[in-house]
Structure formats: C-alpha cells, structure tokens
C-alpha cells in the first residue's frame, strides 16, 4: 500500500517530497531561509519494510533536519563530522612552509643571522595575532547563522559583513591579486624544480604539477586531500630535518657570530611574511573544525610554531654556509653543489614538497572563494529549483554522471578560474617566482592579513548588541590597535622601498 503524503507548501516555495513507505508530518516546513539553503523541520515515521537500509527502532519517530539546496547540489546533513587538530595543524604547516622558505636565505643573507632571526620572531607574533583575530571574526559570523549550517565564510564576506561594501570590495581585489600571485609563484617554482629533477621543460613541468594537485582536490575531495596533505607535510618536515643535519655537518652554525646589518632587514620583511603566512586557510579551518574556538586557537598556535622553528634553524644554517664564501650567493645553491648527490636530491625533493603543500592550501581556499561568489551569483540570478527526494529512487540505477556533474560543476568552474590564469602567466613569464613573492608578501598579504583583520575586529566590537565573542574582541582593543598600526607601517615601508628602488 502506498502511504505517500505530500508536505504543505507555502506561498513562496512549492515543495513535494514523495517518500515511499513513510509518512511525513510537517508542522513548520520552513524553519529559516539563507542565501542558498532552506532548512526544513519534518518528522518521518519509518515502516519496517520498503527501504533496505531502514532499521526497526523502538521509537519510530525521529526528528530530522533536511537542507534543500539549489538544483544540482547534494542534500547535506547539519551534523557533519568535524575535523581534527592534527589535520588543521598539517594544513597550516603545509601552507606556511612553502616556496617562501626557498627564497628566504638569499633575501636574508645581507642582513645576517641575528637580525633576520629576530625579525622572523616579530613577524610570527604579528601574524599570530592577526590569525587569531580572523578566526574570532569568522566564528562570530558563523554563530549568527542558524544551527546546523556550516559553510566556508570567505575573507570577502567577512569584510563585507563587518566593514560594508567598501571593505568587501577591497578584500575582493586584494585577495584575488594575492591568490593569483601566490599560485603563480608555486607553479613557476615547481616547474623550475622539476626541470632539475627530470629534465622536463619548466613550462610543461609547472603545468603538470599544478594539474596534478588540481585533480587531487577536484576529484579526491576534502577527505582524500586532507590525508595526502598530512603525509606530504610529515615527509617534508622529515626531509627538512635531514637537510639541516647535513648542513650542520658542513659547518652551518659558523654564521651565528657577528651582529649583521640591521639596515638590510626591511628588504627581507616581504619574504618573511610570505614564508610564515597561512591566513588564507583560516576560513577553511573554521569550517573544518566546526567553528570550535578552543581547537582553532590550539591549531593556530601549534601550526604556526612549527614553521617558525623550522625557519629559524633553516635560516641560521643556510646563512652560516653562505658566510664561508667570499661572495653573496644563494645558500640553496651551495647545498645543491655538495659533492654527494644525495644532498642535492634531498633539497630538490624537499623543495617540491614545500611547494606542493603550499599549493594545496592556496588551491583549497582560493577555489572556495570563487565557489562562494558563483553560488551567490547563481542564487540572485535564478529561481530556486528543488528536486524531489524519493527514497525508492535509491533502489534504482541513477544517472551517475549527471548527478556527479550537478554536484561538482560549481567546484570545477571555480577551480578553472583559479588555475587557468595561473598557468598562462607562470608558463609565459620568466623569473615569475621572485617578482610574485615580493608582490604577494609586500602588499597583498600585509594589506589583507595585516590591515583588514584589525579593522574588521574593531568594527565588529563596536556593534550594538555585542555577544560574548564580540566582547572578547572589545577587550583586546590595545592589541588590535597595535597590530593595525604595525601593519600600516609595513605597507608604508614597502612603498618607500619600492620608490627608492625605482630611482636607482
């Protein structure tokens, strides 16, 4: 006997959910409506027959929240499994220890070990405060949403919600420019490394390397990417430790003597920020850990300490090696020039892993940014279409290819928007790596992750009807003002540096 019943419809939404062998009772079909999600509250009385996966329960009544999304998107369950601190730390470490660590020794060599090490610690503390501000703001915005909704809130949305349209527009322009410069740097450097390893032309090498990680994220999904990233990060840290041991055996600590040149420090700030920054994955982390502030803070602290310690040791050893020569050279080239071929291979493998883990973090966050914009555009430009939910369809063979494309077309489009311009520039512009790191670290990262977070926190703390999260931001006003002024000073200093460079 067919016991199918239909839910009542409202004036703005017509919904029919035909479910075989189940009776649907809906007291209030629509609990709330967000941009691209309707939350419905229904009860389903299950029968002991019909669907093969339904089990008999003592209490046949169970309350479910069902999210009905736009056509082509999968139905999601609000009680999704949260991530782990280990996964979050691996993502932070992998994003931080990237191509910047390869450029740091050459940039920091004129300043010396002591000035560059102290500057690294200062930059780390500055970026740590900025990251904590970002997760506070992101979690505060997440908590304004209804329970059960979990999505990635991009930097643009954060800025627009707190600072208004001008903040959203500024964040959009800066973030897009930063995302592309970072991806260009990673793709260009990967091509250079693979050319030395397998003698494949740099443009082709960079293209294949970028395409590999694009395929991993697009097809493998978050869970597979998370596992791969953790393994790559562990391997990268292991190789880095092995390289540092070899470098110490070659006399790497001899560079610790001497005071260095503090006047050369300002020129090293952009690459230091580029080497330590991980803030582009902050929105992804908040969704990954379910907006759990305690675990987020612990992950950010632990995840940022590992790159700092690695960079301090790496900087000291690499600069110590460079002081043994009469001319200023790249310490990485000195390591690769060691007679034992194993050292050269270790350096190349570490460099490739460093670029790969950074590319994973940037691809994830940058594609999520474009995905959010595409969903917003689709929502405002088309009406909501809701597909029928039929449990008996599960027993039939669906059109898997159509369903798969419907669920992933937005993600593939967003990924194409990230990768296509990146590959065009990285494969056609020579020396793109050095220029991209200077631009990204000197302007984009400093503006986006230095100036904007204090401004957003200030605006959020000044709002009426503060919650507990906003009160915490209000109490941190001295720190907010301090990092904001420091960030503005870095931007001004970089502008002056570039103006002076143009005059000579």
Domain interval for residue 216: 85-381+403-467
Task: Let me know if residue 91 belongs to a domain.
Answer: yes
Task: Let me know if residue 58 belongs to a domain.
Answer: no
CATH code of residue 423:
1.20.1740.10
pLDDT at position 318: 74
Task: Let me know if residue 387 belongs to a domain.
Answer: no
CA dist 489 → 133, 266, 269, 447, 450 (Å) = 19, 11, 12, 11, 10
Distance CA(285)–CA(86), nearest Å, equals 12
Asked whether the predicted pLDDT for residue 259 surpasses 80, the reply is no
Distance CA(130)–CA(373), nearest Å, equals 24
pLDDT at position 8: 41
Distance CA(112)–CA(129), nearest Å, equals 26
CA dist 65 → 38, 40, 72, 83, 172 (Å) = 10, 6, 19, 21, 34
Task: Let me know if residue 26 belongs to a domain.
Answer: no
> Domain count of the chain?
1
Task: Let me know if residue 60 belongs to a domain.
Answer: no
* pTM for this entry: 0.68
Helix or strand run (H / E) with residue 342: helix 341-381
Task: Let me know if residue 435 belongs to a domain.
Answer: yes
Asked whether the predicted pLDDT for residue 433 surpasses 80, the reply is no
pLDDT category of residue 50 using cuts at 50, 70 and 90: very low
Which residues on neighbouring strands pair with residue 63, listed in sequence order?
A: 43
pLDDT at position 493: 82
| Of 57-66, 338-347, 436-445, minimum mean pLDDT range | 57-66
Task: Let me know if residue 445 belongs to a domain.
Answer: yes
Asked whether the predicted pLDDT for residue 126 surpasses 60, the reply is yes
What length is written for the chain?
504
Q: Which residue has the higher pLDDT, 235 or 154?
A: 235
What's the rounded mean pLDDT across residues 353-380?
A: 81
Q: Which residue has the higher pLDDT, 91 or 378?
A: 91
Task: Let me know if residue 453 belongs to a domain.
Answer: yes
Asked whether the predicted pLDDT for residue 188 surpasses 90, the reply is no
Long-range contacts, stretch 115-118, CB < 8 angstroms, 24+ apart: 115/259, 115/260, 115/261, 115/262, 115/264, 115/265, 116/260, 116/265, 116/268, 116/272, 116/315, 116/319, 117/312, 117/315, 117/316
Task: Extract the tokens encoding 23.
Answer: 């009776």
Asked whether the predicted pLDDT for residue 68 surpasses 80, the reply is no
For residues 321 and 178, the answer to whether their CB atoms sit within 8 Å is no
């Amino acid at each position: 006997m067919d016991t199918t019943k239909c839910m009542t419809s409202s004036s703005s939404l017509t919904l029919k959910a035909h479910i075989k062998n189940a009776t649907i009772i809906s007291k209030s079909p629509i609990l709330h409506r967000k941009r691209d999600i309707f939350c419905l509250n229904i009860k389903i009385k299950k029968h002991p027959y019909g669907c093969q996966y339904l089990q008999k329960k003592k209490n046949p009544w169970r309350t479910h929240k069902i999210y009905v999304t736009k056509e082509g998107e999968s139905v999601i369950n609000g009680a999704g499994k949260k991530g782990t601190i280990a996964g979050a730390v691996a993502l932070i470490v992998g994003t931080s220890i990237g191509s910047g660590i390869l450029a740091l020794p050459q940039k920091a060599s004129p300043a010396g070990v002591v000035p560059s090490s102290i500057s690294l610690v200062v930059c780390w503390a500055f970026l740590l405060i900025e990251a904590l501000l970002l997760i506070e703001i992101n979690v505060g915005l997440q908590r304004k949403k209804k329970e059960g909704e979990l999505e990635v809130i991009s930097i643009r949305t954060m800025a627009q919600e707190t600072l208004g349209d001008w903040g959203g527009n500024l964040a959009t322009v800066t973030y897009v420019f930063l995302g592309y410069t970072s991806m260009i740097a990673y793709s260009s450097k990967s091509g250079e490394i693979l050319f030395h390893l397998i003698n494949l032309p740099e443009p082709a090498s960079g293209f294949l390397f970028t395409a590999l990680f694009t395929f991993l994220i697009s097809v493998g999904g978050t869970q597979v990417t998370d596992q791969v990233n953790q393994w790559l990060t562990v391997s990268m840290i292991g190789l880095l430790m092995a390289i540092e041991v070899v470098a110490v055996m070659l006399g790497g600590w001899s560079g610790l003597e001497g005071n260095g040149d503090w006047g050369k420090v300002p020129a090293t700030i952009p690459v230091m920020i580029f080497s330590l920054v991980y803030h582009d994955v902050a929105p992804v982390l908040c969704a990954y850990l379910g907006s759990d502030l305690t675990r987020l803070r612990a992950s950010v602290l632990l995840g940022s300490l590992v790159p700092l310690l690695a960079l301090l040791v790496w900087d000291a050893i690499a600069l110590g090696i460079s002081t043994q020569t009469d001319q200023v050279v790249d310490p990485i080239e000195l390591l690769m020039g060691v007679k034992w071929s194993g050292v050269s291979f270790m350096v190349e493998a570490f460099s490739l892993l460093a670029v790969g883990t950074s590319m994973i973090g940037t691809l994830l966050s940058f594609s999520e940014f474009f995905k959010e914009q595409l969903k917003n555009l689709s929502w405002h430009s088309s009406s909501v279409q809701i597909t029928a939910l039929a449990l008996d369809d599960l027993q039939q063979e669906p059109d898997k290819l159509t369903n798969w494309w419907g669920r992933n077309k937005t993600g593939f489009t967003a990924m194409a928007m990230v990768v296509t311009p990146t590959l065009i520039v990285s494969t056609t512009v020579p020396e793109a790596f050095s220029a991209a790191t200077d631009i990204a670290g000197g302007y984009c990262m400093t503006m986006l992750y230095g100036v904007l977070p204090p401004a957003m926190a200030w605006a959020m703390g000044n709002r009426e009807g503060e919650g507990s999260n906003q009160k915490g931001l209000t109490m941190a006003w001295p720190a907010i003002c301090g990092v904001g002024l420091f960030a503005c000073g870095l931007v001004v200093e970089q502008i002056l540096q570039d103006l002076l460079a143009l005059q000579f």
